[in-house]
Amino acid sequence: MERTMDITADLTDKTETELRAMERAIAKKHLDKFPYLSLCWGLGNFICWLSMWPLVMTGVMPMWLGLVIASINVAASYLPSHEAQHSIFAMPGKPLRWLNELVGHLTPIPLVMPFRVLRATHLEHHKYANNPELDPDYGIHADTAWGAVWASIQWRQPRPEGGEHRYAQSLKRIGREDLILESVVFELVYLAILISLVWTGFALEAFFLWWLPRHIGITWLHFYLAWFPHNPSCGEGRYSDTRSFKSKVGNIVSGGMQYHIVHHLYPRIPLVRTPAAYREMKPILKTMGADVDAI
């Protein structure tokens, strides 16, 4: 801590332009690195989720274990797609662009969330983070942890906050009403699968391997990815709209979000490299007024 304070003191005579240049130089070391771990994680997690269905249906795996694994699978399914949302696997026009899109579309299927909807709304979140009117994720804002859980439950209702869903508002604002229809189709297919499972005698499997894990996973994602990095006191602006935090359950269980501020500053730095980038940038971020005291 003393070392960090000394370095921060040494930076106070730097101009904002100089600090930003130093920040970019650090970021450059972590950009354009292929996220091999996220690739294996995303595809492996999806295969694991699929494989549980026959194992539980045939009695090889007990239902309770299927519930635990499926809940982890659903919670873990978003972040590889998140890498693809920022084209970290491959930028448009690059030879591996097909892989970027494959990971993006495939991995969030357990969440029943279309990749194109996730990408469009997430990029709007980056543009307008913490803006009460324009941030699609602002509905998860709350003053307490339990308030965040309640906000997540409301988010899943037809008319959260008493009006049109913020994602629908965001998609309309950017002229992507077609993606609203895509979301509806996804939800209808999901419901059709659940009904088919119930009709054919697999009601408990439908409930414990998908319906309940989906709600557990969404709650976890909202808590650690949407609420914790942006609440309760974050404002708007490059160094104010998110923060670092120390999670009681560790960085892995909290989805790597302890260093979320690095992601908002440089979205194309792979998730697994954000801790190292954060440690290098921390004195600069502190000097620029960012909330980085927690870790």
HEC string for 65-101: HHHHHHHHHHHHCHHHHHHHHCCCCCCCCCCCHHHHH
Q: Indicate the residue type of 243.
A: R
Q: What's the CA gap between 64 and 68, in Å, rounded?
A: 6
Helices (H), 222-287: 250-253, 260-265, 274-287
Residues in the chain: 295
Contact 239, 288 (CB under 8 A): yes
Classify residue 149 by burial, with Cβ atoms within 10 Å: 0-12, 13-18, 19+: middle
- pLDDT, one tens digit for every residue, the chain (295 residues): 444 444 554 777 788 888 889 999 999 999 989 999 999 999 999 999 999 999 999 999 999 999 999 999 999 999 999 999 999 999 999 999 999 999 999 999 999 999 999 999 999 999 999 999 999 999 998 999 999 999 999 999 888 887 899 999 999 999 999 999 999 999 999 999 999 999 999 999 999 999 999 999 999 999 999 999 987 767 888 888 888 889 889 899 989 999 999 999 999 999 999 999 999 999 999 988 888 888 8
Looking at the whole model, is its pTM more than 0.85?
A: yes
Q: What's the CA gap between 145 and 228, in Å, rounded?
A: 8
CA dist list (Å): 148 to 50, 110, 153:
30, 22, 9
Confidence (pLDDT) at 17: 87
Q: What's the CA gap between 191 and 180, in Å, rounded?
A: 17
Residue 102 is encoded by which pair of tokens?
């494959």
Contact 222, 152 (CB under 8 A): yes
Classify residue 11 by burial, with Cβ atoms within 10 Å: 0-12, 13-18, 19+: middle
Residue 121 is encoded by which pair of tokens?
């709304």
Confidence (pLDDT) at 172: 96
Classify residue 257 by burial, with Cβ atoms within 10 Å: 0-12, 13-18, 19+: buried
Return the domain boundaries, the chain: 1-30+233-295, 31-232
Q: What's the CA gap between 247 and 254, in Å, rounded?
A: 7
Confidence (pLDDT) at 204: 97
